[in-house]
Amino acid sequence: MRDRFRALTGRDEEPPVRADGGVPGDETSSAIDDAFETIGRAISRVIDPINDRTGPDFVESSPFWLPPFLLMVLFVYGAIAWNFAISLTDFAGFGNPDYSSLDLDQYARALGDSGFIQATQNTFVLVLGFTVATLLVGLLLAILIDRGIRFENTFRTIYLLPMSLSFVVTAQFWLWMYNFNNGILNTIITALGLKPVNWIGDPGVVLFAVVLALVWQFSGYAMVVYLAGLRAIPTEHYEAAKIDGASSFKMYVRVIIPQLKGSTISAAVVLMVFSLKAFDFLYSLVGGYRPPNGVDILATLMVRVSYSNNQWAYGSAIAIMLFLMALSIIGPYLVYEFRRGNL
Amino acid sequence: MRKDNTRLSRRKFVYTGTTVAALGLAGCSGDGGGDGTATDTAEPTDMPAVEIMHGWTGGDGKTAADNLRDTFQNNYDVELDWNPIGGGGNQNLDAVVANRLQNNNPPGAFANWPGPNLVKYEGVLGNVSDIWDEEGFEDAHVEEAHDLHKQDGEYRAVPLGSHRLNNLFYNQAVVDEAGVTPEDITDVSSLVDALETVANETDKIPMTHGMQGTWTTTQLWASTMLGQEGFDAYMSFLDGNPDRAAVRRTFESLETILSNYISDDSATIGLTGSNNNIINGNAAFIHQGNWAAGAFRNSEGFAYNDDWGAKAYPGTEDMYMLHFDSFLYPSDNPAPEATKTWMAYVGSKDAQIAFNKFKGSIPTRTDIDLAGNDFGPYLQDAADDFANAEERPPNLQHGLGVVAKTMTSLNDVISSNFSGPFNVEDATDGFVDAVSN
């Protein structure tokens, strides 16, 4: 099989390969080589202008990136575009969407729907609260572990472990821990002489409870990212700060943490995307599409509208708005990375 | 020289890779075509397997469904492609079915609720009126089932079994300890009194109520409305002409019960946790559909009438709030003939006995001798209540009372206004708005 391909590529497919370089033949038959070279030059005349515009080897490298690119265009961006098209219709129930009258009705409907407004607020609070809290906890853990403590690896593993667990598992854990009567949190709180908290049942508390559970799960990830960032800072910076008479606190705030900007940004983006996917956690928490009152987010609302009511157009409109939210997080990051020359 | 060689071979490798990829893609499409022709030629010669989708993946539901399948396969020469989809109540099943119907790739038949629930499948359900005719289902099955299985004047589904919704189960030891006689509780206010007595006389939970989801509260509301405001008020609520005062009074009673007599951890427990409170003797009463009885029956050393008891929800003694488990028949069916064999079987005596006696529901056929078929004392009592009921109103939460969209709205209201803190005024407005025509 491989030999056959080799034969194939050797004879039929060689010319375009040679096209860019036009390297004089160091192979067996120089007559064939000359012929190839002529063809190669002809092809170069077509390809070179394209390459001049788009960068070297644009056309030659296309076998690498073009097929996946086309698949991505079709299955990811095509699906998003189709989803957007559906959101402009009034599609509900079964059958085919009617694309003849497109309007923004579903978006207007969302803006007038108190459930949607509530879910959007909850999503924002969840994304911001979760990301900030996780970064702070992760940074703290990273600094502590970076102090050269004993059992450093063990601690690192312990903190990272929750991230390896599925949302399905952690949601059940936390459901038990949040139980009003015999959950460990209320056991501790009552032992301290405080009143027990209705973690899941109180709409004012449940969002905080969910954020807390997610922070627990992902702070280990933030820790690892920060740890890598800290290890990249030369020891001299610490020493210089010490010699200048800075306290440990000042040293971290003025010297070390500013250098962790890159780590912060990349960890923040990943965490925000995780928090938009909190659907899994909420689904597992209640075993259904309807999270406890006070913690309904756009992802759960979208699925509920689509699959409980078969209101596909409305569900698509919510999906598009959720997508724009995610894009507004990722977009600036991509621009930032691009400006720094990392893309 | 050497450099050049490696470059060449790398390029060859790339081209080889690309060619393989291209061939692979071609191969994929070739396979696809092959599949199509294979089924095309297979269909006329041989009955294809009927794909059956349902949500009974655990406990007595799985036992019942497996028995339903085995009984069919022992008696019919049709192959089944058995496809149970569990999780989230029936939500995962519904989502998969919706996607399949959306993609014009329906299963042979799928389990779901009939009644207004059929509305969300408008346009994708086929006609099984011929089966109802041939099998004489109209005479064999309870009258209430007829209209509920029709859409646009034709039958679209066949019932398999029925659960009762308006039940009050109790732990005998706990009610004895409190000195409460469940049989004497015949209206909602005496239920509240009984709960108060349990609260005062024992340290148990007077009424266990899992509020992890909202559906438990919605179905409790329906039973309370039926018991307190009566059949007519309940039916006009379902019909879209709610009496606001009656809705409000129902919420007031419910507020009394939910803010005083349920457990503090209700928000973190669901059906299973709530059932366990009864089984473990931590709670006196529970309101549930009689699928809960399945959990009680299957517990070791927990016997009907000795350790646990059942009565109608207070005020609904002469009524049986209906629930149906049915199989729906999609149009554009991949295996119409074979599926119709299955649908005829679902409504038959064999199937209804095979399924219901394990599921803890009762047959929708009126000609089955439950005692002679090992249905057990509880189900025999349930069937007697069914037969003797003066009214058999449809349920609210399980598809028979309102369309899916309304049901979602009602549950939105429960979620935002009535899952603690309890806001009677807003919940009343929400319910009235949700059902009003």
DSSP string, B270-287: -HHHHHHHHHTTSEEEEE
What is the pLDDT at residue B262? 95
Q: What percent of chain A has pLDDT over 70?
A: 91
List residues bridging with B330 in a β-sheet. B125
Closest Cβ opposite residue B16 in set A9, A200, A290: A9
Q: Are strands B80-84 and B50-54 parallel, antiparallel or unpaired?
A: parallel
CA–CA distance from A32 to each of A10, A14, A40 (Å)? 12, 11, 12
pLDDT at A10 over 70: no
Question: Looking at beta carbons, which residues of chain A come within 8 Å of B213?
Answer: 286-288, 290
- What are the chain A neighbours of B102 within 8 Å (beta carbons)? 94, 312
Question: Scanning the structure block, which residue is given the tokens 């990349």?
Answer: A266
d(CA A38, CA A181): 84
| A65 interface with B at CB cutoff 8 Å | no
Contacts of A19 in chain B (CB under 8 A): none
Q: Nearest by CB to B408, which of A26, A93, A309? A: A309
Provide the shortest C-alpha distance from residue A92 to chain B (in Å): 9
Chain A positions touching B259 (Cβ under 8 A) are: none
B124: nearest CA partner in chain A: A94
Residue B281 region by backbone torsions, left for phi larger than 0, else alpha for psi between -120 and 50, else beta: left
* First-residue to last-residue Cα distance in chain A: 39
Chain-chain contact of A175 with B268 (C-beta, under 8 angstroms): yes
What would the mean pLDDT of A286-308 be, rounded to a whole number? Answer: 90
A160 token code pair: 């990272």
User: β-strands B322-328, B283-288: how paired?
Assistant: unpaired
Please give the helix or strand (H or E) that residue B111 lies within, else none. Answer: strand B109-112
Collapse the DSSP code of B310 into the 3-class scheme (helix H, G, I; strand E, B; otherwise coil) and give the result: strand
Q: Which of A3, A26, A293 to mutate to test the interface with B (most CBs of B within 10 A)?
A: A293
pTM of the model: 0.81
What's the distance, Cα to Cα, between the start and end of chain B in Å? 85
Query: pLDDT band at A39, cuts 50/70/90?
Result: confident
Task: Please write the tens of the pLDDT for every residue from A43-73.
Answer: 888 878 777 777 778 888 888 889 999 999 9
Verify whether the Cβ–Cβ distance B265 to A180 is below 8 Å.
yes
**Among the residues of A24-61, which ranges form H helices?**
30-54
Contact check, Cβ <8 Å, A180/B89: no
* pLDDT above 60 for A261: yes
Region for B158 from its dihedrals, namely left if φ exceeds 0, alpha if ψ lies in -120 to 50, beta otherwise: beta
Alpha carbon B228 to its chain centroid, in Å, reads: 25
Neighbours of A336 (CB within 10 A): 16
How do B109-112 and B50-54 pair as beta strands? parallel
- CB atoms A200 and B267 under 8 Å: yes
pLDDT at B9: 53
| pLDDT in the model for residue B329 | 96
User: Does ipTM surpass 0.90 in this model?
Assistant: no
pLDDT above 60 (res A252)? yes
pLDDT at position B43, please? 41
Rounded CA-CA distance B28/B415 in Å is: 48
> Helix-strand-coil percent breakdown of chain B, rounded to 5?
55, 15, 30
Q: How long is chain B?
A: 437
Average pLDDT of the residues in A276-289: 87
B328 backbone dihedrals φ, ψ, rounded to 5°: -100, 145
Whether residue B264 and residue A181 make contact (CB cut-off 8 A), yes or no, is yes
Distances from the Cα of B155 to the Cα of A148, B159, B347, angstroms: 75, 11, 13
Distance from CA of A180 to the nearest CA of B (A): 5
Average pLDDT, chain A: 86
Q: Are strands B157-164 and B283-288 parallel, antiparallel or unpaired?
A: unpaired
B272 CB within 8 Å of a chain A CB? no
Task: Give the pLDDT mean for A260-273.
Answer: 89
pLDDT, tens digit, 9 for 90 and up, residues A104-157? 999 999 999 888 999 999 999 999 999 999 999 999 999 999 888 888 889 889
**Model confidence band, residue A1 (pLDDT cutoffs 50, 70, 90):** very low
- pLDDT for B18 equals 52
- Residue matched to tokens 């450099």: B3
Bridging pattern class, strands B308-312 and B167-171: antiparallel
pLDDT of residue A26: 53
CA A222, CA B131: separation in Å to the nearest integer? 62
Q: ∠ CA(B176), CA(B181), CA(B182), 5° rounding?
A: 110
Report the SS3 class of residue B85.
coil
Partners of B53 in the β-ladder: B83, B110
Q: Which residues of chain B have pLDDT under 70?
A: 1-46, 88
